[in-house]
Amino acid sequence: MSEWHLQQKIELSPGQHSCAGLKSVNEDAIGMRIPSGLLQTTKGIATVIADGVSAAEGGKEASEIAVHSFLADYFSTPDTWTVQQSAVRVLSALNRWLYGLGSAAVSQERGHLCTFSGVVIKSRTAHVFHVGDSRVYLWRKGKLEQLSRDHCRRIGENKSYLTRALGLDLKLDVDYHQLALEDGDSFFLSTDGLHEFVNDDEIAACLSAKEYPDAQCELLVQQALANGSDDNISCQWLVIDKLPVEDINETCARLSALPFPPELSPGMLIDGYRIKKQIHASSRSQLFVVIDEDTGERLCMKTPSVNFEDDPAYIERFSMESWIGKRVQSPHVVKVVEPDRPRSFLYYLTEYVDGVPLSTWIREQHKPAVEEAVYLLDQIGKGLRAFHRKQILHQDIKPDNIMIGPGGVVKIIDFGSCYSFGIAEIATPLKRDRVLGTADYSAPEHVLLKKVGPASDIFSLAVVAFEMLTGKLPFKGALAHCRNANAYTSTEYVAAYHENPLVPVWMDGAIRKSLRFLPERRFQEVDELIYDLQHPNPDYMQREHRPLAQRNPLRFWQASSGVLAVSVVVLLYLYFGAA
């Protein structure tokens, strides 16, 4: 399938060992998961260690749950998610679960508590997650470096308390950092039963011996026992022999495995799909209506433009379109159709949306109906939300990419500009293109090549909302010509209610907030914008109608201080002058 060009394999030697030691039960839990194939490419390799807190009753259960569930759930998160989002979401769910189990116990410290340390290796980057006092070390070129910070506080001689643990509190702070890997790097994870009794030099000495990782782990556990460890003892040792090589020739060969289709015209048959007509052609791609000869189903076929035949970055983007499209599920996003037969050319199929683009709707509205616009915007918002939930940005929200189908059902089409944060984590030798979007609708950070995020899509959605409500582009259409920050900040916003008096002030306020220059000052979630388009928010009251203290606090306090100063002077005069 299309995504195979990304396939990467990490060569590694894993080892681990855990024993109860002098205790009767082993409350430590350890686990690794080294998936093969695509899963390794998209989610990576995970190794985790957890130490059930002995003072707690459910320590053993907690650590087992943590390790098992993490290894299962992490790999079930959407493959478009970043490692950080996947792991943090899984860990916070785990934390709530353990907290729930624990709150049934008498006191929280005696509930289901455990430490958690994990390393996920994806492509050429390691992601470290850590809570509690188990440890993660990096072993690089004969040097041992502790990556994690112990979350515990020592009180008195032998007493130490965990300051952070899974299941301790509803709110969980996970330490996260990532580092770029080199061939030969390895990670050593241990619980306090080991590193409290075997110091770093001894660990380093053992690791530098050329042994199998399993054997080395066992040796270290034995040494901890010999040094008098009275706790459960566990450690993991993951050696990365060879990171995936970024070979451009191989990547390109995989990408160009399927040839570009030739010029297509109605009547031609490709893999059993009969070309009916061309709906759209640009300098980047062509779009056709096709009929599946087997089922009679009407579909859309998108084909790449021959202009980019030798542009690997373009081919990658095109191949990823259907990959991304398949992962966004929503009634308001066009469906990518998986063909049931091998493809002999590069193309992909989507469902056929019978309807008009939103641009036509906007053109045909003589007096834009506010309620209808909000009804449509609500659906667009739901579609866009489906992208963002999968950590994908659409990056090209505009009326031409929004179809209004039968029954007023809105669908977002075109995945040609999408950005997947999870895919971006996979190292590639290709120089990927950066999307600048469509001039009138792009957020400033696209054009200025700054960091983009969901707020960038929200900006574009707000431009669309403005256009739907007024039939005009915001900022008097000036966005299309802005090329630098100065140009953006000197644009003049004309409120939507000036263009269309039927638009309420608060609705304009929500749009205006989404059109701010700085992404952090906009809404951060699509739903917030949609909610504020449907519910009057007093924050957006017209400036003139608000009290001065809110409208201009500085002036308010200046004025009050001025009045006070005058009255002090008057009083002083009266007091001394009278005397």
Partner 1 sequence: MSTERINLLNFSNPSIKTLHVAWVAFFISFVVWFSHAPLLVYMKEALDLSSQQVKALLILNVAMTIPARIVVGMLVDKFGPRVVYSGLLISSSFLCWGFAFAQNFEQLALFRFLLGFVGAGFVIGIRLVSEWFPAKQVGLAEGIYGGWGNFGSAAAAMTLPTLALLFGGEDGWRYALASTGVVAFFYGIFFYLVARDTPKGSTYFKPKRTGGLEVSSKADLYLYIGMNIPMYLALAVLAWKLSPTNLGLLSVITTNALYGVLIAMFLLQLSQIWKVNKEHLRDGVPEIEKYDFKQVAILNWAYFVTFGSELAVVSMLPLFFMDTFSLDAVTAGLMASGFAFMNLVARPGGGWLSDKMGRKKTLSVLIAGLTVGYLVLSQINAGWWLPVAVVATMCCSFFVQAGEGAVFAMVPLVKRRMTGQIAGMTGAYGNVGAVIFLTVLSFVDASVFFIVIAASAAVCLIIVQFVKEPEGHMAEVLPDGTVQLIEVA
Instruction: Indicate the helix (H) or strand (E) that contains 159.
Output: strand 159-162
Footprint on residues 445-464 left by partner 1 (CB under 8 A): 449
* Span interacting with partner 1, options 131-139, 235-243, 280-288, 544-552, rule CB under 8 A: 280-288
Judged by beta carbon, residue 252 or residue 478, the one nearer partner 1 is: 252
**What distances in angstroms separate CA 250 from CA 44, 183, 246, 257, 428, one per listed residue?**
20, 20, 8, 11, 11
Options 38, 204, 370, 436; binder of partner 1; rule CB under 8 A: 436
Contact between 294 and partner 1 per CB under 8 A: no
* Span interacting with partner 1, options 20-28, 193-201, 268-276, 484-492, rule CB under 8 A: 268-276
CB of 338 to partner 1, least distance (A): 21
With H, G, I as helix, E, B as strand and everything else as coil, classify residue 509: helix
CB of 441 to partner 1, least distance (A): 8
Contact (Cβ atoms closer than 8 angstroms) between residue 481 and residue 437: no
Judged by beta carbon, residue 283 or residue 490, the one nearer partner 1 is: 283
Instruction: Indicate the helix (H) or strand (E) that contains 381.
Output: helix 370-389
| C-alpha to C-alpha distance for 289 and 509, rounded to whole angstroms | 41
* Span interacting with partner 1, options 42-50, 106-114, 188-196, 426-434, rule CB under 8 A: 426-434
CB of 304 to partner 1, least distance (A): 9
* Span interacting with partner 1, options 19-27, 99-107, 174-182, 428-436, rule CB under 8 A: 428-436
Judged by beta carbon, residue 136 or residue 346, the one nearer partner 1 is: 346
| Both tokens assigned to 384 | 């866009």
Instruction: Indicate the helix (H) or strand (E) that contains 550.
Output: helix 548-551
CB of 319 to partner 1, least distance (A): 14
Judged by beta carbon, residue 52 or residue 444, the one nearer partner 1 is: 444
> Which residues have a Cβ under 8 Å from the Cβ of 333 and sit 6 or more positions away?
325, 383, 386, 387, 411, 412
| Both tokens assigned to 278 | 């061309």
CB of 1 to partner 1, least distance (A): 20
Options 22, 269, 356, 568; binder of partner 1; rule CB under 8 A: 269
Contact between 270 and partner 1 per CB under 8 A: yes
Contact between 264 and partner 1 per CB under 8 A: yes
**What distances in angstroms separate CA 449 from CA 120, 456, 458, one per listed residue?**
30, 12, 17
Give how many residues touch partner 1 by CB under 8 A.
Answer: 51
DSSP string, 280-330: EE-SSEEEEEEEETTT--EEEEEEE-GGGTT-HHHHHHHHHHHHHHHH---
Q: In angstroms, how far is CA 572 from the centroid of its own chain?
A: 64
> Which residues have a Cβ under 8 Å from the Cβ of 579 and sit 6 or more positions away?
none
Contact between 531 and partner 1 per CB under 8 A: no
Strand partners, 166: 114
The 220-259 contact track toward partner 1, x by CB under 8 A, reads ----------------------------xx--xx--x--x
| Both tokens assigned to 239 | 């050696």
List strands edge to edge, sheet with 116-122.
28-33, 45-51, 116-122, 125-131, 175-180
CB of 250 to partner 1, least distance (A): 10
Judged by beta carbon, residue 37 or residue 262, the one nearer partner 1 is: 262
Judged by beta carbon, residue 231 or residue 440, the one nearer partner 1 is: 440
With H, G, I as helix, E, B as strand and everything else as coil, classify residue 71: helix
Strand partners, 412: 333, 402
Residue (of 475, 470, 486, 335) closest to 412 by Cα position: 335
CB of 348 to partner 1, least distance (A): 16
Q: HSE, CB side, 13 Å, CA atoms: give it for residue 294.
A: 6
Contact between 444 and partner 1 per CB under 8 A: no
Contact between 360 and partner 1 per CB under 8 A: no
CB of 200 to partner 1, least distance (A): 39
* Span interacting with partner 1, options 150-158, 347-355, 439-447, 549-557, rule CB under 8 A: 439-447
Encoded amino acid at 418, one letter:
C
| C-alpha to C-alpha distance for 330 and 377, rounded to whole angstroms | 15
The 370-409 contact track toward partner 1, x by CB under 8 A, reads --------------------------x-xxx---------
Options 89, 274, 335, 450; binder of partner 1; rule CB under 8 A: 274
Judged by beta carbon, residue 434 or residue 535, the one nearer partner 1 is: 434
Residue (of 468, 479, 532) closest to 502 by Cα position: 468
List strands edge to edge, sheet with 402-404.
356-357, 402-404, 410-412
CB of 469 to partner 1, least distance (A): 19
Contact between 473 and partner 1 per CB under 8 A: no
| C-alpha to C-alpha distance for 5 and 329, rounded to whole angstroms | 24
Contact (Cβ atoms closer than 8 angstroms) between residue 505 and residue 541: yes
Judged by beta carbon, residue 229 or residue 417, the one nearer partner 1 is: 417
Contact between 311 and partner 1 per CB under 8 A: yes
**In the block, which residue shows the tokens 């916070």?**
92
Task: Classify residue 481 as left (phi > 0), alpha (psi -120 to 50) or beta.
Answer: alpha
Judged by beta carbon, residue 194 or residue 264, the one nearer partner 1 is: 264
CB of 158 to partner 1, least distance (A): 58
CB of 504 to partner 1, least distance (A): 28
Judged by beta carbon, residue 178 or residue 278, the one nearer partner 1 is: 278
Footprint of partner 1 (CB under 8 A): 248-249, 252-253, 256, 259, 261-265, 267-270, 274, 278, 281-284, 286, 305-312, 344-345, 359, 396, 398-400, 416-417, 429, 431, 433-440, 442, 449
